[in-house]
């Protein structure tokens, strides 16, 4: 397998900062002031003392075993009402890279990465808006690479080593992910987002067939009908009636856990 290590070389447009430990890569980038402006700033850490995921959830990671990174860039050409395209692009980049190592890698709406019914990657995206456009975008991601034991109460973690039975090199996965994201980001800058939207939909976790969900009104069966440009998930029941959800308004129930009343939150 050929990797894109050259993409990590410092250049006029790119800077890579390597840390042994930080509170979180997102918080580091929020306060970092580069000596000279860069199009993208990447920070990696062997360990995070306060890593977090969506909606304030914590992220467990054994020191030196996984890939923890943050990416700062300035997508000023993206309007605020289309910011979900950035989430789709980074989720696709990670999903496609991990698919080089294992089958059944999927994107669980909106941007978790799953292997079968288990979570291998979580990410958080924070945008700074100026008017109707995005001034700064910070992406923080944690990919379980070589960790073999998980001690938190997270219901379904898995690592690439557990899947493949082999220890993997995180820097290769990082380089290939950044290369893919750079290519997708160039398409976004050029207004060519059709491939991103289509590929995201095709790689969605349980994108075919009817599955169990739960919202404020209870449990119901539905299939994925659409993911809107705003990021809203549209589900359709067997009668064709659609329901539209923002993040955290609906849970995707995995059948083996339904009896325990332990839905995995989308």
* For the chain, domain boundaries: 5-202, 211-265
CATH fold of 211-265, please?
A: SH3 type barrels. (2.30.30)
The secondary element (H helix, E strand) that includes residue 141 is strand 133-143
User: Can you list the alpha helix ranges (DSSP code H) found in the chain?
Assistant: 25-31, 84-98, 160-164, 170-189, 194-202, 255-258
Can you count the helices (H) and strands (E) in the chain? 6, 13
**Lowest-pLDDT choice from 4-13, 87-96, 167-176, 250-259:** 250-259
Write out pLDDT tens, residues 197-230: 999 999 999 999 999 999 999 999 999 999 999 9
**Lowest-pLDDT choice from 16-20, 113-117, 123-127, 151-155:** 151-155
What's the pLDDT band for 153 if we cut at 50, 70, 90?
A: low
Residue 263 confidence (pLDDT): 40
Q: Which residues fall within 8 angstroms of residue 71, CB to CB, at 6 or more apart?
A: 29, 40, 41, 42, 43, 90, 138, 139, 141, 178, 181
What's the CA angle centered on 70, arms 66 and 76, to 5 degrees?
155
The domain 5-202 having CATH identifier 3.30.930.10: the answer here is yes
């Amino acid at each position: 397998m050929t990797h894109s290590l050259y993409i990590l070389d410092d250049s006029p447009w790119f800077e890579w900062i390597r840390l042994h430990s930080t509170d979180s890569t997102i918080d580091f980038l929020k306060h970092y002031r580069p000596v000279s402006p860069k199009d993208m700033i990447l920070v990696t850490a062997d360990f995070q003392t306060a890593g977090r995921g969506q909606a304030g959830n914590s992220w467990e990671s054994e020191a030196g075993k996984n890939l923890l990174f943050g990416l700062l860039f300035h997508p000023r050409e993206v309007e605020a009402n289309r910011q979900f395209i950035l989430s789709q692009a980074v989720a696709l980049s990670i999903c496609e890279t991990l698919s080089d190592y294992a089958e059944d890698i999927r994107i669980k709406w909106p941007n978790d990465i799953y292997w079968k019914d288990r979570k291998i990657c979580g990410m958080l995206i924070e945008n700074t808006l100026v008017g109707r456009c995005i001034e700064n975008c910070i992406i923080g991601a944690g990919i379980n690479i070589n960790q073999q034991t998980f001690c938190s109460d997270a219901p379904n973690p898995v690592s690439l080593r557990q899947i493949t039975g082999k220890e993997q090199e995180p820097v290769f996965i990082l380089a290939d992910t950044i290369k893919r994201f750079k290519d997708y980001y160039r398409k976004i800058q050029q207004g060519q987002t059709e491939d991103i939207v289509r590929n995201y939909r095709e790689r969605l976790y349980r994108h075919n067939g009817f599955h169990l969900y739960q919202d404020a009104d209870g449990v119901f069966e539905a299939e994925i009908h659409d993911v809107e440009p705003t990021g809203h998930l549209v589900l359709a029941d067997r009668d064709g009636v659609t329901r539209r959800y923002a993040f955290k308004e609906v849970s995707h129930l995995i059948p083996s856990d339904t009896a325990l009343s332990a839905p995995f939150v989308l």
